[in-house]
């Protein structure tokens, strides 16, 4: 999809469809909308009267051959109340319009921005919305569902800011394409994305965009004594890998923070000997969503060039119930030297992250963010609405939540009280891999990882319920979402 600024008056741009948005309330037909209404000789006012055009969030009203416009269609998208509106809402508006119009065979679309949103933030949000909406899970379908929109003109923007707008479009493209890159990985079935294949995909991407890359194979992993990762991997015939991606700024500042991104890369989670029920087990191909998130974030950072170093560590393995698989009750020694009593082999994500976090610290990171499809419990707490965000110290987490806000991703701070730490004490080892007692599963999982992050500022994102959606949204195809990438990228750019 080509996306470019167009400084012509909107009415004279030829296209299959012109899209703009309408606010809910008495001001529905003000400003630009009043002008369009005049060229429709009051047609829009009539739609308001009939109740067809209310401006409610994401309402769609399509007019064919609108008078006074060169475009063949006019699509009005509801934007909700003006007071509640934020520039970031343009992502959903543009995405909803694109998904609606592409299913109607539209090839050339114009997105007309309104009076309040003519700057770089708006251009970036629209670009992200359009490109994220483009993604479909049809890679393995012989007949593709929809034809793609070929080009979008952005109209109504502040022409005086041409350079800033063009770089905002470029930034939006990098971020959205990185999000889609991750979504493609998350979608891959486990027979087409083993730990080795995930490593190869990450390596190829890194070489293409100029990131440093190192793949640790099973021999190296053994040499490093990554006992927690190896314990999970031993039930599978597929060997594990640790993927390391590095971004270095051109002129590194001495004493600057080094951000560590750690992603759970379980390419399939059967549960191991504590095997999962068959219902929905096929979904466990997306248990590498955390790793994909970090790979996607690194791809974006390679283009956006933050001023700090970033090192991503993705431990990748299958969790299988093979003859050599670990068993409940086994005690494992993690790379850090801590001993782990394995109560449930299905709590494998925290084990692979334990060694991922330890290794990232060994590589010199000063701050950590991990992302993982870690617990079913996070779905109980937050449904698929928010990412569960844990972290210490609290100020570090708050700083991250600010980035989530500006990236338009819903994240909710979760508790890290010491009572949860009590619940992962073991009778025979340093810690156990599940919480004793009832409830708090997302927090005990987080505490397990913190046992390895220790005093390093650390954030844990539990994306188990948000990394994949079973129902499509008007602006997003069902399946992998690529959630958290935008927030992580925003955070890395500001750290």
Q: Which stretch binds ligand BES (CB under 6 A): 57-65, 91-99, 153-161, 344-352?
A: 344-352
Of the ranges 138-146, 229-237, 282-290, 414-422, which one interacts with Zn ion (CB under 5 A)? 282-290
List the single partner that 377 binds among ligand BES, Zn ion, none, CB under 5 to 8 Å by kind. Answer: ligand BES
Q: Min. distance of Cβ 271 from Zn ion in angstroms?
A: 5
Give dist(CA 358, CA 456) in Å, integer: 11
Query: Does the bond joining 393 to the residue before it have cis omega, within 30 degrees of 0?
Result: yes
> Which parts of 353-382 interact with ligand BES (CB under 6 A)?
373-377
DSSP symbol at 402: H
Tracing tokens 């020694």 back to the chain, one arrives at 333
Give 66 or 265: the residue with its C-beta nearer to Zn ion. 265
Q: Which is nearer to ligand BES, 95 or 315 (CB)?
A: 315
Crossing angle of helices 120-134 and 89-102, in 10° steps, is 40
Tell me, by CB under 6 A, how many residues bind ligand BES: 15
CA angle 92, 97, 103 (to 5 degrees): 130
Structure-derived torsion over alpha carbons of residues 395, 401, 406, 409, reported in degrees to the nearest 10 = 170
Residue closer to ligand BES (CB basis): 20 or 384:
384
Q: How far apart are CA 33 and CA 44, in angstroms?
A: 8
d(CA 198, CA 196): 5
125 or 449: CB nearest Zn ion: 449
Q: Which of 106, 110, 87 is nearest to 6 (CA)?
A: 110
Contact between 464 and ligand BES by CB under 6 A: the answer reads: yes
- The listed partner (Zn ion, ligand BES, none) that binds 376, CB under 5 to 8 Å by sort, is ligand BES
Query: Judged by CB under 6 A, which of 434, 466, 481, 487 binds ligand BES?
Result: 434
Q: How far apart are CA 363 and CA 354, in angstroms?
A: 14
Q: Yes or no: say if 449 and 460 are a contact pair by the CB < 8 Å rule.
A: yes
19 pairs with which residues across the strands? 75, 111
Choose, from 246, 276, 410, 473, the residue flagged as catalytic: 276
Tell me which stretch binds ligand BES (CB under 6 A): 24-32, 54-62, 303-311, 341-349.
341-349
In the window 300-359, what residues touch Zn ion (CB under 5 A)?
346, 348-349
Among 117, 136, 287, 355, binds ligand BES (CB under 6 A): 287
Using CB under 5 A, which of the segments 113-121, 190-198, 286-294, 434-442 binds Zn ion?
A: 286-294
- The CB-of-21 to Zn ion minimum distance in angstroms stands at 40
Query: In angstroms, what is the minimal distance from the CB of 266 to ligand BES?
Result: 7
Contact 351, 265 (CB under 8 A): no
- Kindly state whether residue 269 participates in binding Zn ion, applying the rule CB under 5 A: yes
Q: Using CA atoms, how far apart are residues 404 and 401, in angstroms rounded to an integer? A: 5
Partner interacting with residue 112 (select from ligand BES, Zn ion, none; CB below 5-8 Å by kind): none
Is 350 tagged catalytic?
A: yes
Could you say whether residue 269 binds ligand BES (CB under 6 A)? Answer: yes
Beta bridge partner(s), residue 313? 244, 262
Tokens of 352: 């692979």
Structure tokens at 214: 């190192």
Return the bridge partners of 332, or none: 340
202 binds, among Zn ion, ligand BES, none (CB under 5 to 8 A by kind): none
Q: Does 265 bind Zn ion (CB under 5 A)?
A: no
Stretch that binds ligand BES, among 101-109, 216-224, 339-347, 410-418 (CB under 6 A): 339-347
> Do 90 and 122 touch, CB atoms closer than 8 A?
yes
Bridge partner list, 216 = 242
276 is catalytic: yes
Measured CA distances, 50 to 30, 46, 239, 362 (Å): 18, 6, 64, 66
Question: Residue count at the site for Zn ion (CB under 5 A)?
Answer: 6
Query: Please, which residues have CB within 8 angstroms of residue 115's CB and are 6 or more apart in sequence?
Result: 31, 32
Q: Which residue's CB is nearer to ligand BES, number 244 or number 424?
A: 424
| Residues near ligand BES (CB under 6 A) | 269, 287, 344, 346-349, 373-377, 434, 441, 464
| Residues near Zn ion (CB under 5 A) | 266, 269, 287, 346, 348-349
Give the residue numbers annotated as catalytic, written as ranges. Answer: 276, 350
């Amino acid at each position: 999809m080509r996306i470019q600024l167009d400084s012509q008056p909107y009415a004279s741009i030829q296209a299959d469809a012109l899209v703009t948005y309408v606010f809910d309330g008495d001001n529905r037909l003000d400003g630009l909308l009043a002008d369009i209404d005049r060229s429709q000789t009051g047609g829009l006012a009539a739609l308001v009267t009939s109740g067809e055009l209310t401006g409610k969030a994401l309402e769609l009203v399509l007019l064919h051959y609108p008078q006074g416009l060169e475009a063949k269609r006019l699509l009005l998208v509801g934007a909700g109340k003006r007071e509640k509106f934020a520039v970031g809402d343009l992502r959903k508006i543009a995405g909803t319009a694109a998904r609606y119009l592409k299913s109607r065979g539209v090839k050339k679309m114009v997105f007309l921005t309104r009076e309040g949103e003519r700057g770089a933030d708006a251009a970036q949000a629209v670009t992200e919305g359009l490109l994220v909406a483009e993604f479909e899970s049809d890679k393995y379908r012989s007949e593709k569902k929809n034809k793609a929109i070929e080009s979008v003109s952005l109209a109504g923007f502040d022409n005086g800011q041409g350079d800033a707008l063009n770089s905002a479009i470029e930034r939006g493209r990098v971020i959205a394409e990185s999000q889609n890159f991750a979504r493609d990985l998350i979608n891959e079935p486990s027979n087409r994305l083993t730990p080795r294949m995930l490593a190869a995909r990450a390596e190829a991407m890194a070489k293409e965009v100029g990131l440093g890359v190192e793949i640790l194979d099973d021999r190296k992993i053994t040499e490093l004594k990554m006992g927690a990762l190896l314990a999970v991997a031993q039930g599978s015939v597929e060997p594990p890998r640790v993927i390391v991606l590095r971004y270095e700024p051109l002129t590194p500042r001495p004493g600057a923070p080094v951000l560590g991104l750690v992603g759970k890369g379980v390419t399939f989670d059967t549960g191991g000997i504590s095997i999962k029920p068959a219902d929905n087990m096929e979904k466990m191909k997306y248990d590498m969503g955390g790793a994909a998130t970090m790979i996607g974030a690194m791809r974006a950072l390679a283009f956006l060039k933050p001023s700090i170093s970033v090192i991503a560590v993705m431990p990748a393995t299958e969790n299988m119930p093979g003859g050599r698989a670990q068993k409940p009750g086994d005690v494992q020694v993690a790379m850090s030297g801590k001993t782990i009593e394995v109560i449930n082999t299905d709590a494998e994500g925290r084990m692979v992250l334990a060694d991922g976090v330890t290794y990232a610290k060994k590589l010199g990171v000063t701050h950590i963010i991990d992302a993982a499809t870690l617990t079913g419990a996070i779905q109980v707490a937050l449904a698929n609405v928010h990412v569960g965000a844990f972290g210490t110290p609290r100020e570090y987490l708050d700083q991250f939540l600010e980035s989530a806000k500006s990236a338009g991703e819903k994240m909710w701070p979760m508790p890290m009280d010491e009572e949860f730490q009590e619940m992962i004490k073991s009778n025979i080892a340093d810690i156990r891999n599940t919480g004793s007692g009832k409830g708090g599963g997302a927090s005990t999982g987080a505490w397990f990882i913190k046992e390895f992050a220790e005093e390093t500022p650390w954030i844990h994102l539990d994306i188990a319920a948000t990394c994949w959606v079973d129902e499509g949204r008007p602006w997003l195809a069902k399946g992998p979402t690529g959630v958290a990438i935008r927030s992580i990228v925003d955070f890395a750019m500001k750290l």
